[in-house]
Structure 1
Amino acid sequence: MRRTVGGKKSVRGAATDAVNTTIQPSRAKIIVCSSGKGGSGKTCLTRNLAVFAAHAGLRVATIDLDPQRGLTNWYAVRPGEAVAIPNVAVPLSNLDEAMRRAGALGDLDLVIIDTPPGVDASPAEMRQLLLLADFVLVPTGQGAGDLRSVVEWMAFIRREQRPSAFVLNLTVRSAGSFDRAKQRLIEAGDLCPFDIRLYESIRVSDEIGLGVAEMKGANGLSDVRGVFTFAMNTLGLKVPNDV
């Protein structure tokens, strides 16, 4: 039996017993950004949602479980005057430590977790992480290879009965594959009604340690705002300020 935000409990048999020792932030909602393959934009989604949350007045932290440390490297170049967002970088194999350190950050509203590029290598740890998640976002490109991978991963998430949705990421709406991708994803699970388009500002924001919400005149702001609002509404998390 696991402790969740708001005191609700659920029983999931032996697999759930494995998460008994995991320390969770006492109030925080937990979003897990995961995908069946690399290149889906998990880190891009994690950092931009975190920036949006921070500027909206939420107390947010991130956890970087990806051994490539893309999120942590982004923090390394983040300007000192930018809004502070705590980050915990821990291997997926030490999930308990990651959650303990996040819990030690204080009274958080939201924790957003970036995961390794492939989920097949650590199925037990990923299942443990899913059981901790209040919402799982599965970013994906619109190519056929991307879709095959994430559809398989979503089937696993749904078997675990976790709230989840696909997010079409780094999209080119004018391509025929865009509409085909939406149709395929809707058939396989819930789909966020907002996609994040492939804009140069998305790439530049990674290089300079910012989110698109912090870049004057950046393209992609409305896209990220849409995904953020969708996620917050799904979580039932009230946003103090408009961004």
Structure 2
Amino acid sequence: MARNGRLLAGFVFGAATVLAVQFGTGVVTAPPVAVVGTALPVAAVVPPAPVAPAPAPTPAPASTTPAAPAAQTTAAPPPQPRGTVRLPGGGTAALVRKDLGPSGELPIPADLGQATWWGAALDAASGASVFAGHVNWRGATGPFAELWTDRIGAEVTIVDSAGKTWRYRVSQLVTVHKDDLPARADDLFGQSGPHRVVLVTCGGRWVGGSDGYEENRVVIADPT
């Protein structure tokens, strides 16, 4: 979400251009060359002496020792800091606890690298822990921009302030027009039903004004 007075703003997608280059192949054929020689008398032709055939090479014995596989190294991801949420693609945001505004709106984070946390605690038996993050701000892309490309089954991890890790699995991907969001707020962000994490940002078409972008992206993840 771009920073504005309303819940969330959005994400600008770029387009990648791919240039395909096709190479051709050809065959060059040299013209025939005439060979001119002088015929020799029959008596001058002496048959060559027979040449003994060369012995066939002896094949080398096959090796019975398998070749050692090439060593592969994979860089381990950096440890996740305390008090953060990490999305499936690696985007990480610091969690900041907030209360709802006077009109019931969810406050937006003060920084691109933060996510507002409202609702249930991580150890709650029911209710949604709602994390809202910027999609971009002042030309920089926020970590929550990847909500638009996340997939069902991907993992979300949260490390609380005490250092405990909580793991969740993405179960729903929802795109909601901002005009339709109030009618779905209880369903998506309510404090009833099984405990879950709800990640939300903005995107879609830029409309400006207090809305910024016209849609919200909501990703729901269940405890594993």
Higher strand share: 2
TM interval, shorter chain, is: under 0.3
Relative to the length of structure 1, the TM-score reads: 0.26
Higher helix share: 1
The structure number with the bigger radius of gyration is 2
Relative to the length of structure 2, the TM-score reads: 0.27
